[in-house]
Amino acid sequence: MLNFEQLSQHLNCRGVQVALGLGAASVLTVVALKIKENSRQSALRKKWNNAGKDVVVLHQFDRARSCPNPSPYPIKLETFLRYLLKSS
């Protein structure tokens, strides 16, 4: 078992200090990303709840800038809903 002097010598090692710093930075980054994701999800939830009655909200993966979602089922449903909107 290490006594206090041996422990302080190990902690004075530059590699240990760098590892502890990187670990703390990683934890802070993960916490910041979780907070950002939670705020994004709450904003989306407000948008969905304000959509109104008798409104279909299509949940799908995000689109690219210039092309639609490549998943077959969301694109079929989106095309069908657009067709219904134009024909009515």
pLDDT in tens, 16-71: 777 778 888 999 999 999 999 899 889 888 888 888 888 878 787 777 777 777 78
d(CA 6, CA 18) in angstroms, rounded, equals 19
Whether the predicted model's global pTM rises above the 0.85 cut: no
| pLDDT for the residue 49 | 85
| pLDDT for the residue 10 | 66
Q: Report whether 76 contacts 58 (CB < 8 A).
A: no
54 conformational bin, left if phi > 0, alpha if psi -120 to 50, beta if neither: left
What is the distance, to the nearest Å, from the Cα of residue 66 to the centroid of all Cα atoms in its chain? 22
